[in-house]
Amino acid sequence: MAGFGAAHRLHGEGITPVMYDKNTYHGGHTASFRYEGGFLFDIGPHISYTKDPRIQNLFADSVDQQYETLQIYLDNYWRGHRPQHPVQLHLHGLPEDVIIKVISGFVEDRQAADKPINNYADWLLASFGKAFAELFPMQYTRKYHTTTAENMTTDWLGPRVYRPNLEEVLQGALSSSAPQKHYITHFRYPSYGGFVSYLTKFVPLGNIHFNHQLCSIDPRAQSLTFTNGLVTGYDTLISSVPLPTLMPMIQGVPQDVLDASRRLACSTCVVVNIGVNRQDLSKAHVTYFYDEDICFTRLGYPHMLAASNAPEGTGSIQAEVYFSRKYKPFTGTPEDCIDPVIADLRRCGILRDDDQILCRKAMLLPYANIIFDHDRAAALETVHGYLDDIGIDYCGRYGDWGYLWTDESFKSGESAVERALSRRRHTATAV
């Protein structure tokens, strides 16, 4: 997504970039695949809910205006209960003792003196009180980010976690019809071909070489070496390669910069894709799972996004199971996760004993979500500072090393081009 954002911006300047992709297909993390039985899955859950009209129009044009517009419904699974999302606004239906503890903790915290916010755990306690923080978001943090809330900063939050007032909490506890308060309300998804279809009209904007895995960069000679033996020069280099993978490739990289790149943490995800012989699997498009004895953290249902994602009369489930090299290393193969996922789907009541599994696939994503631990800021400053010094521009979730959504990744590629063009204009002026 970031690479094609860069290509789009360069195209506007009349420049056709040379692009290299280690895969045999385009799209990176926004690729889509159709598996046995006709089931289509994206690499992880992707929907477009950008509010930027320019990006909306670009994506819509790329699929010739053939997209679905859906009102999103999100819910949660906690100890057998299915409250709507976000939980803090939909306590109704949970055990009475839990509701009492949560509201009491919420009120007590509002009456307490302000305390310094040194980490995400402090923010959760100050926002929701001890009971809610420990029962819900702190558990989810350990599953999704693979580390504790105490070990995380608040730099990534933005609109992602809603902080309600007391009236909203009470209304959601007393009534099942509490108002929706979430940063996503409606979203778009291509009618055909999966999320990667949003890139269709951007592919011709660059001269793309597939099956080219980068292995070495010489910033002095401005040359690239690939594992297939190709050595080529570059004018300006823009990279969306994950920083911990990129830095060891750079010839002459200082040891402190290399060490800093190794301190950057990111989760690893195994996505398990299941095709089932019925459609009525869930009312929600996405369900969040807090229980730590359930192996997956989140479920999505691709057949609910577009009818073409699954054969008629069938349904599909995508489960996310998280690990991380730094905090929870993954061992084994992606396929090892399939049976535990199916077992937990049955235990949660998502799958029935008589359901027929029509498709079962698993894929390992070595880089999933950036972990905003306390090492990130200083390490990232060191790495980005070095790349700036040697004139390598970076973009995307793993180049910027931030919590970027797809539209933000596209714009990150555009911004990288702006930096590169600005530097060239400045050099030309100086000469």
pLDDT in tens, 360-399: 999 999 999 999 999 999 999 999 999 999 999 999 999 9
Q: For residue 425, what pLDDT band results from cuts at 50, 70 and 90?
A: confident
Residue with tokens 């004139």: 391
CB burial string 108-127: b at 16+ within 10 A, e below = ebeeeeeeeeebbbbbbbbb
What pLDDT score was predicted for residue 160? 72
Q: Is the dihedral of CA 235, 239, 244, 245 positive or negative?
A: negative
Which residue is it, tokens 């692009």? 19
What is the H or E stretch that residue 243 is in?
A: helix 243-246
Model pTM? 0.94
Residues above pLDDT 90, as percent of the chain: 88
Give the pairing type, strands 207-209 and 18-20.
Answer: parallel
Average pLDDT over residues 268-277: 98
In this structure, are residues 297 and 322 in contact, taking their beta carbons and an 8 Å threshold?
Answer: yes
What does the pLDDT read at residue 287?
A: 97
Q: What is the pLDDT of residue 182?
A: 57
Burial bucket for residue 35 (CB in 10 Å: 0-12, 13-18, 19+): middle
How far is residue 382's CA from residue 309's CA, in Å, rounded to a whole number? 43
Per residue in 79-93, pLDDT (tens digit) is: 999 999 999 999 999
